[in-house]
Amino acid sequence: MSKARLMQGNEACAEGAIAAGVRFFAGYPITPSTEIAETMAKLLPQYGGKFIQMEDEIGSMGAILGASLAGLKSMDATSGPGFSLKQELIGYAACAEIPCVLVNVQRVGPSTGQPTAPSQADVMQVRWGTHGDHPMIALAPWSVRETYDATVMAVNYSERFRTPVILLMDEIIGHLREKVELPDSVEVYERRKPKKTRAEGYEPYEPDEDLVPNVADFGKGYHIHVTGLLHDATGFPVGSPKVTEESIRRLHEKIARAGDEIIHTEEYFMEDAEYAVVAFGGTARTAYEAVRNAREAGKKVGLLRLMTIWPFADKVIEQLAAKVKGILVAELNYGQVVHEVRRAAQGKCLVELCGKYNMKSFEPKEIEAAIDEMCARRDA
C-alpha cells in the first residue's frame, strides 16, 4: 500500500483507470464529472497515453471507440445531458463489441436539471438508454476507495467481455473527499488476441468458449471489418433472421454466462434482520448510518448494498425477499431500482420506495423514519 492520500471520488476514478491500463481518454466538460477529464489530462501524457477534449459528447464517445479498436484501453466520463448524447455510440460499442468504459457521474435531471446536485435517476437509462436489445454492465461504488477498485473492475470487464461498461457514480461519491490508501498494483485483464491466422481462417467475431470473440486490433494485418450493422462471425452484415437472432442472443449470453461472478453486493446487519434496506452509491452510506441507528434502537433491520447495478442481482434479492418481511429501497430518484427489486422479490415480501429528488442527499433520519413506517404498515 502506498501512503494515505486525501482524494476525491472523481480523482480516484482517474487513478484507477491509469492503474487498469487505460491509455486513451476523450471527454467533454460537464459537471459533476469534469475532474475525471482534468485528472486524465494531467496523468495520461505522463504515462505515454493520450487525452483529447472533443467537440461534444458524441465525438468523445466516437474517439474512444476508435482508440479502443486501435488497441488502447479507453475511457470517457460524463453526466446527465452528456450521457443522453452518448446513447447512440453505447449501442454501437455493444453491437460491434468494442471494449470501453464510460463513467456517468449522475446529477439531477431531466434535461439540464440541477447540474451540481446529486441524483441517482439514470439507473434505467444506463440499462435501456440506447435503442435495441443489448446487455449492460454497470457498477456503482459507494466510497472513494471503492471508486478506484470499481474503475479497475470496469476496465477489466470491458476488455474481458468486449462490451461497454458504465461506472455509475453519483455526485456524492464523485465530489466526496476521503483519506485513501491505494494499492501498489492491481490485477489487470489484458485483451485477448486472435488465436488463428488469416490463413487458418480467422474470423474476428467467431465466439470463443466464453462466447466473447477475439477481435484483432487494427494494424495487425487481419483486415477486419467492424460495423454497427448486425453481422456474422466474419464481421460483415448479413440481413438474415438467423444471424440477427444468433447475434443478439450471443451478446446477452456472453454476459449472462459470467453470472454471479460479476454481481457484487454487500450485506450489513443482516443476520437476524426482519426488514432490509436496499441502496447503492452515495445513498448506501446514509442507509448504513440509518440501519446502524435502527439497530441501536433495537430494530431488526439490515442493509443490502448493490455494487453491481446491471446485471441486476435477481437471485440475491429473491433470497432476501424470502427471508425478510419487507424491503425498503432508498434511492435518489422517483423510483427506479425499486421496480427491479419488486420484480426480483416475486411477491415474497413487501417492497417499498424511499425516494428523494429535491437536490439534497438523504439524511439518516429520513431513511429511519421510512423504515419505521414500513414496519408499522407491515405489522399492522
Partner 1 sequence: MERSYEKYFRQNRLPHLWCPGCGNGIVMKAIVQAIEKEGLNQDNTVIVSGIGCSSRASGYMDFDTLHTAHGRAIPFATGVKLANPELNVIVITGDGDCTAIGGNHFIHGCRRNVDLTVVLFDNNIYGMTGGQASPMTPTGKKATTAPYGSVDRPFNACDLAGAAGATYVARSTAFHVKHLTDMISGGIRNKGFSFIEAVVQCPTAYGRKNKMGSPADMLAWMRDNAVMKAAWDKMPEEQKTSEKFPIGVFLDSSYEDYGNAYEGLIQRIGGKKS
Binding site for partner 1 (CB under 8 A): 23-24, 26, 45-50, 52, 54-56, 58-72, 74, 88-89, 92, 218-229, 236-237
Q: How far is the CB of 70 from partner 1 (least distance, A)?
A: 4
Measured from the CB atom, the residue of 235 and 282 that comes closer to partner 1 is 235
Closest CA to 15 of 39, 35, 31, 33: 39
For residue 80, the one-letter residue type is G
CB of 189 to partner 1, least distance (A): 18
Least Å distance between CB 72 and partner 1? 4
Measure the CA–CA gap between 87 and 102, rounded to whole angstroms.
11
Q: How far apart are CA 155 and CA 20, in angstroms?
A: 6
Residues 6+ apart with CB under 8 A from 153: 139
Minimum CB–partner distance for residue 56 and partner 1 (Å): 6
Nearer to partner 1, 59 or 115 (CB): 59
The residue type at 203: E
CB closer to partner 1 out of 217 and 318: 217
User: Under a CB-based contact definition with an 8 Å cutoff, are residues 9 and 59 in contact?
Assistant: no
CB of 330 to partner 1, least distance (A): 38
Residue where the block lists cell 443476520: 271
Residue with smaller CB distance to partner 1, 220 or 315: 220
The x, y and z cell numbers of residue 340, run together, are: 427491479
DSSP code string of 282-344: HHHHHHHHHHHHHHHTT--EEEEEESEEES--HHHHHHHHHH-SEEEEEESSSSSHHHHHHHH
- The strand pairing partners of 280, in sequence order, are 306
Q: CB of 17: closest distance to partner 1 in angstroms? A: 15
Q: Between 93 and 320, whose beta carbon lies closer to partner 1?
A: 93
Nearest to 379 by CA among 305, 311, 307, 325: 325
CB of 46 to partner 1, least distance (A): 5
Closer of 68 and 120 to partner 1 (Cβ): 68
Beta-sheet pairing, 114-118 with 73-78: unpaired
CB of 171 to partner 1, least distance (A): 27
Three cell numbers, residue 329: 429501497
Residue 225 or 325 with smaller CB distance to partner 1? 225
Q: How far is the CB of 19 from partner 1 (least distance, A)?
A: 15
Strand partners, 265: 306
How far is 282 from 77, CA to CA, in rounded Å?
Answer: 18
Nearer to partner 1, 214 or 333 (CB): 214
Compare residues 66 and 364 and give the one whose CB is closer to partner 1: 66
Give how far Cα 161 sits from Cα of 68, 100, 135, 224, 245, Å: 14, 10, 11, 19, 19
